[in-house]
C-alpha cells in the first residue's frame, strides 16, 4: 500500500467524501447530502466585513475631518454602484468592495455634524446590541423562540411606564412612531366601539378625532389607513409657539357633537417635529375627562425629556394620558428603530384589540406560562427585538447617564440660541423650549432690504441654496423647511453626545461661509 493511500485512509475529511459518494441521495436531481454552504468561507467574509465596518464606520464616526456625505446625483450613483443582481454569485473580494462603496456613498448619520433629522450619532452599546440581534435573527412573538428578548422587552416597558407616572400599564415596541400612533388610534376606536373588530365599519356613527395643526403627518396616514378618513380629523389651532390651544379644542369637540359626529380621540403632541412644541397636557386631559375621550400623547420626539429631572416638566400631565408613543431611538440614541407604544390600561386591552389567536403560534397548552407569549398584542407576526438596544444602552449608562444625555443636548441647544442672537445675519423664529432651533440666515445682500414681499421671496431661496452647497461639500447636513406661512428656514436639532460647542460654532460659521455671497 502506497503512502498516499495510507494518508487518505487516515484523513477524516477524505473518508467522509468517500462515504458520502457511496450514500448520495438525490431528489429532483439535487444532492441532499451535507450542507451546500461553505462555513469557513462565510466566516472569513463576516470577519473581513466586520473589520471594514470597524475601520470605515465606527473608528471614523467622531472624526469631524471626515465628510458627512459624498454627494452624488441618482443617475451618477447608479453608475458608481454595481446594482445588478446576476444569475451567478460574485467572489467575496468583489462583495467586500461593494460593502466599501455602500459605506462610502451613504450619509454618515453618526458624524458629529449630521443635524438633518431627529436622530443622530452613534451609541456603541446599542450598536453591539444590534450586532447580536442581527446575528441571532430572533422574532419576538413567543417565549419558546425568543425567551431573552421577551423578558428584556417586559423589563424596559415596565421602566418606561414608571417614568410616565403610571402605577401599571401595558405596551409593545413597534416599527416607528407612526405605527405607534396608528396603534393608539385603533385602540381608542376599539375601546369606544369594541364590535368594530368583528363587524367592521358598517353601521358605525361618524367617528372623529382631534389633534393639533402641528401634529405629525402620521395622524393623517393612520386615519386614512384605518378607514376613519382624513376629513374626520379636526385640526385644532395652535398658538404662536406651536402649542394646541385647549379652548379651541373644546370648541371643536362641541362643534363635532352638534354636527352629529362621535368624538372618540384627542392626540396631543409632546415635541412637535419642526418647532419642538409641547401641548398643555393637563388642560387637554381635563377636556378629555369632561367629554369621555381617549387621550393619546405622541411623545415620539419629546418623550426622552422624561428622563431628566430638570426638563420633565415639559410633559407635565402626561400621567393622565391613556396611551403614549415614545421613541428612544431619537434623543436617547437607541438606534433606529426603537419605538414603544405605552398604554395605561392593564386589563389586556391591547391583546383583545389585536389578537387573532393563531393556533400554530399561541397554543394554550404549552408547558410554560403562555402569558409570556406577547406577540398576539401586535399587528405583526415577525417582530424585531428593538427593546434590547435600549436595554443595553440603559444598562451601560444607567438612568443618570441617560439623564445627562438629555441635559447636555438641551444645554448645547441653549448655547446655540445665544450665539445666534449675537451674530449678524442670523434670526430666530422663536425662543425654543426643546432641542429644535429654528432660524433664518439673512445674507449681506438682504440685510438692508425692506422686509416686504420681495425680501421674503428672496430669503425663501437662501436655505435651499446653502443646503445644496453644504451637501456637495460634505461639511455638514442641516434640515430646512417652510412652515405655517413662514418662508424656508433652518431647523437645527441637537442630539448626539459626540457634538461639542465647537460644532455649534462651526455650524454658524459654515452657513455664513456658504451663504455670504448670495
* 407 and 373 in a common domain: no
Count of CA atoms in the C-beta half-sphere (13 A) of 113: 25
Which pLDDT value is given to residue 35?
80
Tell me, yes or no, whether 3 lies in a domain: no
Bridge partner residues of 483 (DSSP):
486
Angle at 326 between CA 320 and CA 330, to 5 degrees: 145
Bridge partner residues of 342 (DSSP):
171, 324
Tell me, yes or no, whether 281 lies in a domain: yes
Which pLDDT value is given to residue 263?
98
> Final residue of a domain: which of 106, 131, 161?
106
C-alpha grid cell, residue 63: 472624526
Compute φ and ψ for 447, nearest 5 degrees.
-70, -25
Which pLDDT value is given to residue 335?
92
* 377 and 281 in a common domain: yes
Q: Are strands 477-483 and 114-115 parallel, antiparallel or unpaired?
A: parallel
Tell me, yes or no, whether 283 lies in a domain: yes
> What residues in the chain have per-residue pLDDT under 70?
1-22
Calculate the CA dihedral of residues 235, 119, 390, 182 and round it to 10 degrees: 20
- Please name the residues in contact with 343: beta carbons below 8 A apart, sequence gap of 6 or more: 169, 170, 171, 187, 322, 323, 349, 350
* 340 and 379 in a common domain: yes
Give the chain's length.
Answer: 518
* 418 and 376 in a common domain: no
Give the Cβ contact number of residue 1 at 10 Å.
6
Q: What's the predicted TM-score (pTM) here?
A: 0.93
Compute φ and ψ for 194, nearest 5 degrees.
-60, -25
> Final residue of a domain: which of 384, 407, 429?
384
* 406 and 366 in a common domain: no
Tell me, yes or no, whether 129 lies in a domain: no
Tell me, yes or no, whether 1 lies in a domain: no
* 409 and 376 in a common domain: no
8 A C-beta contact, residue 317 and residue 288: no
* 272 and 174 in a common domain: yes
Which pLDDT value is given to residue 203?
82
- Please name the residues in contact with 271: beta carbons below 8 A apart, sequence gap of 6 or more: 277, 278, 299, 300, 301, 302, 303, 305, 314, 434
Tell me, yes or no, whether 121 lies in a domain: no
* 495 and 375 in a common domain: no
Tell me, yes or no, whether 156 lies in a domain: yes
The CATH number that applies at residue 144 is: 3.40.640.10
Tell me, yes or no, whether 46 lies in a domain: yes
* 231 and 89 in a common domain: no
Which pLDDT value is given to residue 30?
87
- Residue-number span of the structural domain to which 238 is assigned: 139-384
Best CA proximity match to 249, nearest among 222, 274, 214: 214
The CATH number that applies at residue 425 is: 3.90.1150.170
> Final residue of a domain: which of 384, 406, 440?
384
* 347 and 305 in a common domain: yes
8 A C-beta contact, residue 52 and residue 100: yes
* 93 and 147 in a common domain: no
Task: Report how many domains make up the chain.
Answer: 3
Kindly list the distances between the CA atom of residue 39 and the CA atoms of 3, 42, 46, 167, 306, in Å, as whole numbers in the listed order.
30, 5, 10, 50, 47
* 217 and 157 in a common domain: yes
Angle at 14 between CA 8 and CA 18, to 5 degrees: 110
Amino acid at each position: 500500500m502506497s503512502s498516499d493511500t495510507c494518508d487518505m485512509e487516515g484523513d477524516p475529511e477524505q473518508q467522509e467524501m468517500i462515504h458520502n459518494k457511496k450514500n448520495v441521495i438525490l431528489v429532483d436531481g439535487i444532492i441532499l447530502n451535507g450542507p451546500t454552504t461553505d462555513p469557513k468561507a462565510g466566516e472569513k467574509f463576516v470577519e473581513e466585513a466586520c473589520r471594514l465596518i470597524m475601520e470605515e464606520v465606527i473608528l471614523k464616526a467622531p472624526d469631524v475631518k471626515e465628510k458627512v456625505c459624498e454627494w452624488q446625483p441618482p443617475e451618477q450613483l447608479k453608475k458608481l454602484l454595481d446594482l445588478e443582481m446576476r444569475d451567478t454569485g460574485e467572489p467575496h473580494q468583489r462583495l467586500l468592495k461593494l460593502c466599501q462603496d455602500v459605506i462610502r456613498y451613504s450619509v454618515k448619520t453618526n458624524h458629529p455634524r449630521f443635524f438633518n433629522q431627529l436622530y443622530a450619532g452613534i451609541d456603541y452599546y446599542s450598536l453591539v446590541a444590534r450586532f447580536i440581534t442581527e446575528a441571532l435573527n430572533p422574532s419576538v412573538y413567543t417565549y419558546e423562540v425568543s425567551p431573552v428578548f421577551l423578558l428584556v422587552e417586559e423589563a424596559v416597558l415596565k421602566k418606561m411606564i414608571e417614568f410616565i407616572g403610571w402605577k401599571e400599564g401595558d405596551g409593545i415596541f413597534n416599527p416607528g412612531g407612526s405605527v405607534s400612533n396608528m396603534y393608539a388610534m385603533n385602540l381608542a376606536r376599539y375601546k369606544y366601539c369594541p364590535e368594530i373588530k368583528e363587524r367592521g365599519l358598517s353601521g358605525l356613527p361618524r367617528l372623529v378625532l382631534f389633534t393639533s395643526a402641528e401634529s405629525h403627518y402620521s395622524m393623517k396616514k393612520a386615519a386614512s389607513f384605518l378607514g376613519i378618513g382624513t376629513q374626520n380629523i379636526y385640526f385644532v389651532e395652535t398658538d404662536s409657539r406651536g402649542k394646541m390651544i385647549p379652548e379651541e379644542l373644546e370648541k371643536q369637540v362641541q362643534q363635532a357633537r352638534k354636527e352629529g359626529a362621535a368624538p372618540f380621540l384627542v392626540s396631543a403632541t409632546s415635541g412637535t417635529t419642526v418647532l419642538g412644541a409641547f401641548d398643555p397636557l393637563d388642560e387637554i386631559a381635563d377636556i378629555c375627562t369632561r367629554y369621555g375621550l381617549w387621550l393619546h400623547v405622541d411623545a415620539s420626539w419629546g418623550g426622552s425629556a422624561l428622563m431628566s429631572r430638570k426638563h420633565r416638566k415639559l410633559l407635565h400631565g402626561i400621567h393622565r394620558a391613556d396611551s403614549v408613543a415614545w421613541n428612544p431611538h431619537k434623543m436617547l440614541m437607541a438606534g433606529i428603530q426603537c419605538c414603544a407604544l405605552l398604554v395605561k390600561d392593564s386589563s389586556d386591552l391591547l391583546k383583545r384589540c389585536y389578537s387573532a389567536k393563531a393556533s400554530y403560534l399561541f397554543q394554550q397548552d404549552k408547558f410554560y406560562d403562555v402569558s409570556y407569549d406577547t406577540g398576539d398584542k401586535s399587528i405583526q407576526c415577525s417582530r424585531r427585538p428593538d427593546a434590547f438596544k435600549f436595554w443595553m444602552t440603559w444598562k451601560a449608562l444607567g438612568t443618570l447617564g441617560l439623564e445627562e444625555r438629555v441635559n447636555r443636548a438641551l444645554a448645547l441647544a441653549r448655547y446655540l440660541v445665544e450665539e445666534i442672537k449675537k451674530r449678524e445675519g442670523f434670526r430666530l423664529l422663536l425662543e425654543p423650549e426643546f432641542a429644535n432651533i429654528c432660524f433664518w440666515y439673512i445674507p449681506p445682500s438682504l440685510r438692508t432690504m425692506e422686509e416686504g414681499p420681495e425680501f421674503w421671496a428672496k430669503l425663501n431661496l437662501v436655505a435651499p441654496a446653502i443646503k445644496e452647497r453644504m451637501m456637495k461639500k460634505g461639511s455638514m447636513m442641516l434640515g430646512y423647511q417652510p412652515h405655517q406661512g413662514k418662508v424656508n428656514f433652518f431647523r437645527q436639532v441637537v442630539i448626539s453626545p459626540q457634538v461639542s460647542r465647537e460644532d455649534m460654532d462651526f455650524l454658524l460659521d459654515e452657513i455664513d461661509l456658504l451663504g455670504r455671497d448670495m
